[in-house]
Amino acid sequence: MSKENNSNSVGIVETQFFTFDKLELESGREIAPVTIAYETYGTLNEDKSNAIFILHALSGSAHAAGYNSPDEKSPGWWDIYIGPGRAFDTEKYFIISSNTIGGCNGSTGPATINPSTGVQYGLDFPIVTICDMVKAQRRLMEHFGITKLLAAAGGSMGGMQSLAWSILYPEMVHSVLAIATAARLSAQGIAFHEVGRQAIINDPNWSRGKYYGHQIPGAGLSLARMIAHITYLSEQNMHERFGRKFQENDPDAFSFKTEYMVESYLHHQGDKFVDRFDANSYLYITRAIDLFDLSSGYGSLIPAFEKVKANYLVISFTSDWLYTSSMSRDIVQALRGNGKNVVYTNIETDKGHDSFLIDNALLQKNISNFLRRQYDEISWKNDGA
Amino acid sequence: MSKENNSNSVGIVETQFFTFDKLELESGREIAPVTIAYETYGTLNEDKSNAIFILHALSGSAHAAGYNSPDEKSPGWWDIYIGPGRAFDTEKYFIISSNTIGGCNGSTGPATINPSTGVQYGLDFPIVTICDMVKAQRRLMEHFGITKLLAAAGGSMGGMQSLAWSILYPEMVHSVLAIATAARLSAQGIAFHEVGRQAIINDPNWSRGKYYGHQIPGAGLSLARMIAHITYLSEQNMHERFGRKFQENDPDAFSFKTEYMVESYLHHQGDKFVDRFDANSYLYITRAIDLFDLSSGYGSLIPAFEKVKANYLVISFTSDWLYTSSMSRDIVQALRGNGKNVVYTNIETDKGHDSFLIDNALLQKNISNFLRRQYDEISWKNDGA
């Protein structure tokens, strides 16, 4: 079946760009101008009530579904969940997916030319936060003339953004899907980010971020990704996939050249990443995640959710040790402590944090059922009005 | 109280050296000559029945207890557990503690001069295994004229060695203390070792291991240690010790210069390590741990333990996610499947893998009670003979 004719796929999509004058940041600094790379799938209905904002994780991009060209080998990062008849059903919903600021897939980030110097920002790019990312997304929403999202949905860092949407703009989000995420990163999560950043900074090609046009800090970025990938899989899953097997059938075990399968897997993931991601963006985005703490300024999580108006779907995965089920339960308890509407599911799986990116029948069902109810609710209200 | 007069301390001790002609390795290669750095605490009794071999973990040394000089700031790495009246009671037992081959604290390793070239071995040093380490320890035991150890005892990699002692030399070990260890490293454990090795290899100062006399790959070794330290603490413990607190009271959160406490802690651990450990030894010893698999050649763990004669004390810690309780239970089940004598304790703590190195009343009691029973058993047998 060709990519264009695959009835479950959104088919060929084009990444588009929206530029606005400037964005004031939480730090007090600003970025000007700001470009946001985005894709859309499905059709915005007449009363603009069927829009869902999809929010990507650390290394994601605007390209969440379909193919950017007939030659593209793999579809967008959440293609399994986005398409006609899929969980995010493009026959019913209008999906917007954008690259975050600070990223490196079309949106303004450290690899963008700084208009005031004429060269790439590098470390002159300001520190951005999860809330800054959401503020930029709001500008894109307004660009479409949408005043209220049916849903803000994402996993991991995307889930942090979806939660932030509902706190920053309570009137603009009918529902939130927060998957494999947390209201704040754990000390262990910060620790893993820091060793990843250190791997990049240790690479002599990093040159304090001024490597554009020169050799990139590929070894450092690859190592950062290898470290991160360990945290994306569960121990159990690693055991089942790789165990203690060697990459070759008849290895000389007494040599550093010989690789266990798990080592080859990590090196492969590291190598692939270098081709598609910018090392400075890795520094900025991990830092944004570190700084995220919904309770900050509120003292605790309960008052943080006091004024939200959305309905929530919170999903965790039992074997996720980076964004644990217990972190999801903290969110659920704080929401319920405020009498808010929450559906919570802890999905049993051994696939670890990566579970939100791979095909999972329960995740599909939870998302599609929740969205259907949200859409019916909005349609019913609109009919009644 | 001075170090010499502290009644619970073994006081000032001197590291000694034992050199023998050669060691044939599992790989078929050999090391010649071999020097082993060791320390002893307590007095060997007349019938040489009170000897305990203490086996160190990845980054340990022969210096397990007391002080090498009156100026030394910290005592040996297991001083909490070794001394007069302590778990390894030096008033009753004769303790031998040696640095493993491949190490960098006095025993022959990659930083040793290779007699056939006149320069340091570097990567010409042969790959060594946990069993090779034990074979070298046996030579040291024989040097003392000891034919049977009262106990072989260690945590983590030391626990692997203690288990290997009982399989390689069933007649020579009366008992085994295997603490926070496993019969084989998990795929996740191999993965963490590999990213640590990669951090060293990525450091341009590493120079394929030929850095002796030049600048050392300090940044890489420090990063390897930082990564490892994350795995030594539990998430809960990291949360309690550091949480999301910044190192400074009034930080500029919007800067890469600002550090969370957990980042400072890891950097401090990394920096300290560079002063005392050799990067090539880190490569060799992590590889030895990767290669360790007691079931290798037996098909499974049960036949591996078929011929052992020792009594076992197996101890795990509930929050240890590197050497999990479940890995200890695998050892216990395989031993019991052979009808062997095993005492197993899973100690409740949030301190993670590092628990075996820090003061824990239950660990103290378990070790001292177990050793007392072993000693009584041997004494009773000897009296009866």
Q: What is the pLDDT of residue A2?
A: 46
Q: What is the pLDDT of residue B379?
A: 84
Nearest CA in chain A to B188: A235
With residue A240 as reference, give the H or E element that holds it. Answer: helix A235-241
Selecting among B320, B325, B328, B330, the annotated active-site residue is: B320
DSSP letter for A69, please.
S
Q: Is B271 a catalytic residue?
A: no
Complex ipTM: 0.95
Q: What is the pLDDT of residue B9?
A: 94
Q: What is the pLDDT of residue A4?
A: 47
Residues of chain A contacting residue B188, judged by C-beta atoms under 8 Å apart: 230, 233, 235, 238-239, 262
Q: Nearest by CB to A195, from B123, B227, B238: name it.
A: B227
pTM tops 0.90: yes
Note the helical H segments in A5-60.
Answer: none
Please tell me the distance from the alpha carbon of residue A163 to that of residue A188, in angstroms, as a whole number: 21
Residues of chain B contacting residue A233, judged by C-beta atoms under 8 Å apart: 188
Whether the predicted pLDDT of A5 surpasses 50: no
Q: Nearest by CB to B290, from A184, A242, A260: name it.
A: A260
- Name the pLDDT band for B249 (thresholds 50, 70, 90): confident
Structure confidence by residue, pLDDT tens digits, B172-227: 999 999 999 999 999 999 999 999 999 999 999 999 999 999 999 999 999 999 99
For CA atoms A328, A165, A176, A125, give the dihedral sign.
negative
Q: Does A207 touch chain B (CB under 8 A)?
A: no
Beta-bridge partners for A149? A173
Whether the predicted pLDDT of B5 surpasses 60: no
Structure confidence by residue, pLDDT tens digits, A111-137: 999 999 999 999 999 999 999 999 999
With residue A346 as reference, give the H or E element that holds it. Answer: strand A342-347
Say if CB A315 and CB A363 are below 8 A apart. Answer: yes
- CA distances (Å), origin A314, targets A56, A160, A343, A347, B35: 16, 11, 6, 11, 59
Residues of chain B contacting residue A243, judged by C-beta atoms under 8 Å apart: 187
Whether the predicted pLDDT of A250 surpasses 80: no
- Name the pLDDT band for B384 (thresholds 50, 70, 90): low
Mean pLDDT of chain B: 95
Asked if B266's CB is within 8 angstroms of A195's CB, the reply is yes
Each domain of chain A, given as residue ranges in start order, spans: 16-184+295-384, 191-286
Residues of chain A contacting residue B233, judged by C-beta atoms under 8 Å apart: 188
Please tell me the distance from the alpha carbon of residue B369 to that of residue B187, in angstroms, as a whole number: 34
Beta-bridge partners for A317? A347
Q: Nearest by CB to A27, from B254, B262, B291: name it.
A: B254
Say if CB A226 and CB A274 are below 8 A apart. Answer: no
Please tell me the distance from the alpha carbon of residue B64 to that of residue B61, in angstroms, as a whole number: 7
Please tell me whether residue A264 adopts helix, strand or coil conformation: helix
Whether the predicted pLDDT of B306 surpasses 90: yes
Say if CB B230 and CB A191 are below 8 A apart. Answer: yes
Please tell me the distance from the alpha carbon of residue A66 to that of residue A309, in angstroms, as a whole number: 32
Q: Is A156 a catalytic residue?
A: yes
Q: What is the pLDDT of residue B2?
A: 46
Please tell me the distance from the alpha carbon of residue B220 to that of residue B228, in angstroms, as a whole number: 12
Please tell me the distance from the alpha carbon of residue B255 to that of residue B310, in angstroms, as a whole number: 57
Nearest CA in chain A to B245: A187
Q: Does B230 touch chain A (CB under 8 A)?
A: yes
Selecting among B61, B97, B98, B156, the annotated active-site residue is: B156
In 3D space, the residue among A158, A155, A153, A157 whose CA is nearest the CA of residue A177 turns out to be: A153
By DSSP bridging, strand A311-317 and strand A342-347 are parallel
Whether the predicted pLDDT of B121 surpasses 90: yes
Say if CB A159 and CB A181 are below 8 A apart. Answer: yes
Interface A:B, Cβ pairs < 8 A: 142
Residue A374: which residues within 8 A CB-CB, separation 6 or more? A150, A151, A174, A175, A311
Q: What is the pLDDT of residue A257?
A: 82
Interface test with B, best of A26, A125, A194 (most B CBs within 10 A): A194
Q: Nearest by CB to B187, from A186, A188, A238: name it.
A: A238
Whether the predicted pLDDT of B254 surpasses 90: no
CATH code reported for the domain at B16-184+294-384: 3.40.50.1820
Nearest CA in chain A to B244: A187
Q: What is the pLDDT of residue B183?
A: 98
Say if CB B323 and CB B182 are below 8 A apart. Answer: yes
Interface test with B, best of A198, A266, A301 (most B CBs within 10 A): A198
Q: Is A203 a catalytic residue?
A: no
Structure confidence by residue, pLDDT tens digits, A46-74: 999 999 999 999 999 999 999 999 999 99
Mean pLDDT of chain A: 95
Q: What is the pLDDT of residue A236?
A: 95
Q: What is the pLDDT of residue B1?
A: 38
Whether the predicted pLDDT of A384 surpasses 60: no
Give the domain A16-184+295-384 fold.
Answer: Rossmann fold (3.40.50)
| CATH class label, B191-286 | mainly alpha
The CA distance from A356 to the nearest CA of chain B, in Å, is 20
Asked if B283's CB is within 8 angstroms of A254's CB, the reply is no
Residue tagged 């250190």 (tokens) = A198
**Radius of gyration (C-alpha) of chain A in whole angstroms:** 21
Residues 322-351 (A) with a CB less than 8 A from some CB of B = 324
The CA distance from A145 to the nearest CA of chain B, in Å, is 32
> What's the angle, vertex CA A161, arms to CA A104 and CA A330, rounded to 5?
135
Residues of chain B contacting residue A204, judged by C-beta atoms under 8 Å apart: 204
- CA distances (Å), origin A291, targets A225, A299, B254, B327: 20, 15, 9, 36
According to the 3-state scheme, what is the secondary structure of chain B? Answer: CCCCCCCCCCCECCCEEEEECCEECCCCCEECCEEEEEEEECCCCCCCCCEEEEECCCCCCCCCCCECCCCCCCCCCCCCCEECCCCEECCCCEEEEECCCCCCCCCCCCCCECCCCCCECHHHCCCCCHHHHHHHHHHHHHHCCCCCECEEEEECHHHHHHHHHHHHCHHHECEEEEECCCCECCHHHHHHHHHHHHHHHHCHHHHHHCCCCCCCCHHHHHHHHHHHHHHHCCHHHHHHHCCCCECCCCCCCCCCCCCEHHHHHHHHHHHHHHCCCCHHHHHHHHHHHHHCECCCCCCCHHHHCCCCCCEEEEEEECCCCCCCHHHHHHHHHHHHHCCCCEEEEEECCCCHHHHHHCCCHHHHHHHHHHHHHHHHHHHHHHHHC
**Which value, to the nearest 10 degrees, does the dihedral of the CA atoms of residues A52, A55, A61, A63 take?**
-20
Q: Does A203 touch chain B (CB under 8 A)?
A: yes
Structure confidence by residue, pLDDT tens digits, B262-288: 999 999 999 999 999 999 999 999 999
Percentage of the residues of chain A whose pLDDT score is greater than 90: 92
**Radius of gyration (C-alpha) of chain B in whole angstroms:** 21
Whether the predicted pLDDT of B228 surpasses 50: yes
Selecting among A97, A98, A156, A162, the annotated active-site residue is: A156
Please tell me the distance from the alpha carbon of residue B240 to that of residue A27, in angstroms, as a whole number: 28
The pair of three-digit structure tokens given for residue B147, joined into one six-digit string: 């034919």
Interface test with B, best of A30, A202, A291, A301 (most B CBs within 10 A): A202
The CA distance from A50 to the nearest CA of chain B, in Å, is 36
- Name the pLDDT band for B234 (thresholds 50, 70, 90): very high
Whether the predicted pLDDT of B4 surpasses 70: no
Beta strand extents in A86-208 (DSSP E only): 88-89, 94-98, 151-155, 175-179
Mean pLDDT value across residues B349-357: 98
- Name the pLDDT band for A168 (thresholds 50, 70, 90): very high
Q: Nearest by CB to B262, from A26, A191, A254: name it.
A: A191
Residues of chain B contacting residue A199, judged by C-beta atoms under 8 Å apart: 199, 202, 223
Residue B218: which residues within 8 A CB-CB, separation 6 or more? B203, B205, B274
Structure confidence by residue, pLDDT tens digits, A289-329: 999 999 999 999 999 999 999 999 999 999 999 999 999 99
Query: Distance between the two ends of chain A, CA-based, in angstroms?
Result: 45
- Name the pLDDT band for B140 (thresholds 50, 70, 90): very high
Say if CB B259 and CB A291 are below 8 A apart. Answer: no
Mean pLDDT value across residues A245-274: 90
Which amino acid, A73? K
- CA distances (Å), origin B320, targets B223, B334, B354, B365: 21, 21, 8, 20
Asked if B227's CB is within 8 angstroms of A190's CB, the reply is no
Tell me phi and psi for residue A304, to 5 degrees: -60, -35
DSSP letter for A209, please.
G
Selecting among A320, A325, A328, A354, the annotated active-site residue is: A320
Please tell me the distance from the alpha carbon of residue A164 to that of residue A148, in angstroms, as a whole number: 15
Tell me phi and psi for residue B337, to 5 degrees: -60, -25
By DSSP bridging, strand B16-20 and strand B34-41 are antiparallel
The CA distance from B11 to the nearest CA of chain A, in Å, is 37
Residue B23: which residues within 8 A CB-CB, separation 6 or more? B30, B31, B32, B34, B101, B132, B135, B136, B139
Q: Does B123 touch chain A (CB under 8 A)?
A: yes
Please tell me the distance from the alpha carbon of residue B158 to that of residue A347, in angstroms, as a whole number: 38
Whether the predicted pLDDT of A381 surpasses 80: no
Whether the domain at B16-184+294-384 and the domain at B191-286 fall into the same CATH topology:
no
Asked if A188's CB is within 8 angstroms of B266's CB, the reply is no
Interface test with B, best of A25, A226, A227 (most B CBs within 10 A): A227
Beta-bridge partners for B120? B113
Q: Does A247 touch chain B (CB under 8 A)?
A: no
